[in-house]
Amino acid sequence: MYNSLKEATAANHQKAEQTELVKLIFKKEIKDLEYSQLLANQIVYYSAIERNQHFKFENDLPRVTKIIQDLFELSPAMLLIMPESYQYADYLETLDERKLWAHVYVHYLGDMAGGQMLKRCVPGSGTRFDFVDPAGLISQIRMNVSIADATEANCAFEWTIRIYNELYRRIREIS
Amino acid sequence: MNFIDALEKLADSYDYRFRNVKNVIEVPTKDYGWTNHRYTSPLFRLAHVEKFVQEKFAVVHVCVFPHVNDPSPIYGFDVIAGEQKATGLFFDLSPTVKPTEPFTNLKVDRPRERPEWGDIFSEHWIACRPTIEEFYVIAHEALLVLDNYMLTLHQTRANIDLVVQGQNRYCQQQKRNTHTAAALKRIIGDELTQEFMDTVLFPEITDSH
């Protein structure tokens, strides 16, 4: 039995961090074009979360505009949006507020918790990792999730891993 | 980034896309004092990216005309902005011979009214005065729509006369936009404005066979 959501998702969290794409980021070896493709795909599913009618974001939690801004800064390239990203977005649109918080926990908390380190690893300014009050937002997210959301949070990790792996495969194919 | 920087990036993104189309040829274009790149390719008859950037004012105009036997709509994207504020953003896939299918789920705040000459636009057109945040979202969507649009070009055939008629009507109506003419006249004068509109911005097809 797990005592916290963090514990219950630790295995998948670790798997996500060990994907080739994330390793490339941590090694500061991801190229502008490759990172642009990641941003373009993230826009698809972050948008699905942020436009969900059951969900009202507070403060500066919404990230889509900032991700697009980062994308604009980097690359004029043609964007490779993968079917997996659209499938994940479609899935997110079916969720109620409760389940959606589990996906916010995985993606947005990740942006905040690891944000300052990631900002130094990715190309460009990485404005998507800038939050006015990260501590406040982190506690807001934590208040809205519990161990009961483990299945959905693990589902968010599984989608992420799938998208990262597929994207890595495709960008390797291109380069 | 402010609007001016963002518009520069956007114009480069468009230009990159057209420049990288297979077998593309750049169409020689007279220098009017700002950037106008035009291309032709097996995919489209004419694609135009206009980038007019001053310190505190910028315009990006993008137009893609399909080939004369292609019933695809005309892709159009325009944005006019100062450093901190956009005056207008217009985005459409304008029909020539058949109604345009919905091309985006975006909903915009503060929509602008359709001008009297604007019956050439589809019912799905987007016209607004966006904030910088809204601009990023719409511009990104417009690029994605372009990427999809390019995949659909030249896949079906239509009667050439009807397509030419539709594309020419689009150009004729666009040339009735007094705002465009007035802005250009202040920069290049009456004569060159007419020439620019007739030969670069909205050239009508006079011989299609």
ipTM of the complex: 0.75
Residue B6 contacts A, CB cutoff 8 Å: yes
Per-residue pLDDT for B122 more than 90? Answer: yes
Tally of structural domains, chain B: 1
Note the pLDDT of residue A115.
84
> Of the candidates A35, A44, A124, A138, which has an alpha carbon nearest to the alpha carbon of residue A82?
A44
Residue B109 contacts A, CB cutoff 8 Å: no
Q: What is the arithmetic mean of pLDDT over A72-93?
A: 90
Q: Is residue B176 part of a domain?
A: no
Quick: pLDDT tens for B12-42: 999 999 999 999 999 999 999 999 999 999 9
CB contact under 8 A, B6 and A72: yes
The string over A28-53, giving b where at least 16 C-beta atoms fall within 10 Å of a residue's C-beta and e elsewhere, is: eebeebbbbbbbbbbbbbbbbbbbbe
Q: Is residue B117 part of a domain?
A: yes
Q: Is residue B184 part of a domain?
A: no
Quick: pLDDT tens for A111-162: 998 888 899 999 999 999 999 988 888 888 999 999 999 999 999 999 999 9
CB contact under 8 A, A68 and B140: yes
pTM of the model: 0.86
Sign for the pseudo-dihedral over CA of B114, B116, B121, B124: positive
Q: How far is CA A83 from the centre of its chain?
A: 16
Q: How confident is the model at residue B208 (pLDDT cuts 50, 70, 90)?
A: low
CATH of residue B39: 3.40.1500.20
Residue B79 contacts A, CB cutoff 8 Å: no
Residue B47 contacts A, CB cutoff 8 Å: no
d(CA B205, CA B200): 12
Per-residue pLDDT for B64 more than 80? Answer: yes
Q: Is residue B190 part of a domain?
A: no
Residue A173: how many CA atoms within 13 Å on its side-chain side? 7
Q: Which residues of B touch A76 (CB under 8 A)?
A: 9, 12-17
Q: Is residue B207 part of a domain?
A: no
Q: How confident is the model at residue B47 (pLDDT cuts 50, 70, 90)?
A: very high
- Domains in chain A and their CATH numbers? 5-170 (1.20.910.10)
Q: Is residue B69 part of a domain?
A: yes
